[in-house]
Amino acid sequence: MNEKTTSDLENLRGLIDGVDQQLLLLLRKRLDLVAQVGAVKHGAGLPIYAPQREAAMLAKRRDEAKKMDVSPQLIEDILRRLMRESYLNEKDVGFKQIKQDLGNVVIVGGEGKLGGLFSQMLVLSGYQVKTLDKNDWASAAQTFEGAGLVIVTVPISITCELIRDKLSSLPSHCILADLTSVKTEPVKAMLEAHSGPVVGLHPMFGPDVGSLAKQVVVVCHGRDSDKYQWLLEQIKIWGARLVEAEPEKHDKAMQLVQAMRHFSSFVYGLNLYKEEADIGSLLQFSSPIYRLELAMVGRLFAQSPELYADIIFAQKESMDAIGDYLDNYSHALSLLQAGDRDAFVAQFKEVAQWFGDFAPQFQRESRAMLQSVNDMKTD
Ligand SMILES: O=C(O)C(=O)C[C@]1(C(=O)O)C=C[C@@H](O)C=C1
């Protein structure tokens, strides 16, 4: 680089630094305003996530960006990232407590990560939370005394047995809820063990989400829904979206959404291991989509094998779904082995037609994800 180029670059980079510093000051200002919004919402019991405000704000900023010859997608990306920050910050202000005369909440399995997250959210909302774990059963009767809500969040394999054996003499007005990722059997067990209000919940996210804003919680009604309506309102204030479902319908969906999904990731990882793949060099050659796939598979192996075994082994029917997948895999492989390119293309078109409008929708959604995967690269 000659001297002129070097000094030109230095000057311009100095100006860019100045703009970035101004951006930082603006960010600070925005965070302070958002903290004030958080306090107002806390007082009024309004949900942390305000989709209509977001949509209106994004539409306006996109329009303004276009007029200023700034990419509308750029301002949308930045604002969405900022709003993610808002969810985290507004959470720290706490949440309005919907049910003030509840008594204690007892989380059975409260030392687990999901139990910990719910405990945190309930404490942030002003509730008294006690936890009960493996070694606390000697004092359980005392813990349950005066409980207004008991939430069960233990491994799936022991959930029903625990409900039947240990939760059959809760105070009758107490709400019994669970967070298990299957619903038919746990809801049945809760209804049998307890004569009071019962509700099955399935948070469709892991414990590392940071905030519940925009996350989905599936609700399977058990008994006396008017008695636990406040709990659903409370969860909505945390920002989550509630999806009501019949337990059987939920469980059927989970065979694909969870059991098959995690099983295929497991086999993918197993295959890389057996093939003795060199992950470091695969990463060097990876396209963003491959990196994303590897991230999805790799994150599985950073977590508890028992948790995934629990999810995959939870329903016998998942075996059929996984077996069907294997059949379809074999059939597709046979097209490849036969060199039948035309049959492959025909099959592809058939599936694409079946996906319909979802295919372009997924393409749009994944474009943003792939771009952020690429942004994260540092080497
Ligand atoms: O306006 C609000 O209600 C806010 O909480 C602020 C804010 C934002 O960061 O702009 C954050 C979350 C909401 O979903 C919408 C907007």
Q: Tell me the pLDDT tens digit for each residue of 325-375.
A: 999 999 999 999 999 999 999 999 999 999 999 999 999 989 888 988 888
Structure tokens at 17: 């630094």
**290 and 265 share one domain:** yes
What CATH number is attached to the domain comprising 59?
1.20.59.10
Residue closest via CA to ligand 1's atom 3 equals 50
Do 187 and 77 lie in one domain? The reply is no
| Residue 98 placed within a domain | no
Letter for the amino acid at 129?
Answer: V
Count of domains observed in the chain:
3
- Please tell me whether residues 217 and 335 are part of one structural domain: no
pLDDT one-digit tens code per residue, 216-271 = 999 999 999 999 999 999 999 999 999 999 999 999 999 999 999 999 999 999 99
Q: How far apart are CA 132 and CA 154, in angstroms?
A: 10
Atom number of ligand 1 nearest to Cα 34: 6
How many C-beta atoms surround the C-beta of residue 271 within 10 A? Answer: 11
- Claim to verify: residue 288 and residue 365 sit in the same structural domain: yes
- For residues 78 and 129, membership in a common domain is answered with no
Whether residue 127 is found in the same domain as residue 11: no
Residue that is last in its domain, among 44, 67, 92: 92
- Within a 13 Å sphere around the CA of 166, how many CA atoms are in the beta-carbon half? 23
Query: Is 97 within a domain?
Result: no
Q: Is residue 285 part of a domain?
A: yes
Could you say which of 245, 268, 299 is where a domain stops?
A: 245
Q: Which of 31, 33, 57, 83 to mutate to test the pocket of ligand 1 (most atoms within 8 A of CB)?
A: 83
32 and 86 inside one domain: yes
Q: Residue 377: pLDDT band by 50, 70, 90 thresholds?
A: confident
pLDDT of residue 361: 96
Average pLDDT, the chain: 94
CA distances, 41 to each of 31, 86, 90, 226 (Å):
15, 12, 9, 25
Residues 86 and 117 in one domain: no
pLDDT score for 1: 84
Q: Do 228 and 261 fall into the same domain?
A: no
The pLDDT of 292-310, averaged and rounded, is 93
Gap between the Cα atoms of 128 and 106, Å rounded: 9
**Do the domain assignments include residue 202?**
yes
* Nearest residue by C-alpha to atom 1 in ligand 1: 53
Q: Does residue 13 sit within a domain? A: yes
pLDDT at 118 over 90: yes
What tokens were used for 110? 């409260």
Same domain assignment for residues 160 and 210: yes
Ligand 1, pocket residues at CB < 6 Å: 34, 37, 49-50, 53-54, 82-83, 86, 90
Residue 170 forms part of a structural domain: yes
111 occurs within a structural domain: yes
pLDDT for the residue 336: 97
The ligand 1 atom at the shortest distance from the C-alpha of residue 82 is 9
Residue 99 inside a domain? The answer is no
The answer to whether residue 285 scores a pLDDT higher than 90 is no
For residues 65 and 119, state if they share a domain: no
Final residue belonging to a domain, choices 66, 92, 118: 92
Of ligand 1's listed atoms, the one at least distance from the Cα of 90 is 5
Q: How far is the CA of 25 from the centre of ligand 1 (A)?
A: 19
Which domain does 320 fall in, by range?
250-376
Of 217, 216, 206, 211, residue with least CA distance to 303: 206
Is the pLDDT score of 69 beyond 80? Answer: yes
Which of 31, 53, 85 for a ligand 1 pocket mutation test, highest count of atoms within 8 Å of Cβ? 53
Mean pLDDT, rounded, for 65-87: 95
CATH number of the domain encompassing residue 138: 3.40.50.720
Report the pLDDT value the prediction gives residue 349, as an integer from 0 to 100. 98
Q: What is the mean pLDDT of residues 23-30?
A: 98
Whether residues 34 and 123 share a domain: the answer is no
188 pLDDT tier (thresholds 50, 70, 90): very high
pLDDT category, 33, cuts 50, 70, 90? very high
* pTM (two decimals): 0.89
**For residue 194, which of 162, 172, 226 has the smallest C-alpha distance?**
172
Is a pLDDT exceeding 80 seen at residue 172?
yes
Which is more confidently placed, 214 or 376? 214
> Is the alpha carbon torsion for 346, 272, 311, 240 positive or negative?
negative
Ligand 1: atom nearest CA of 46 is 3
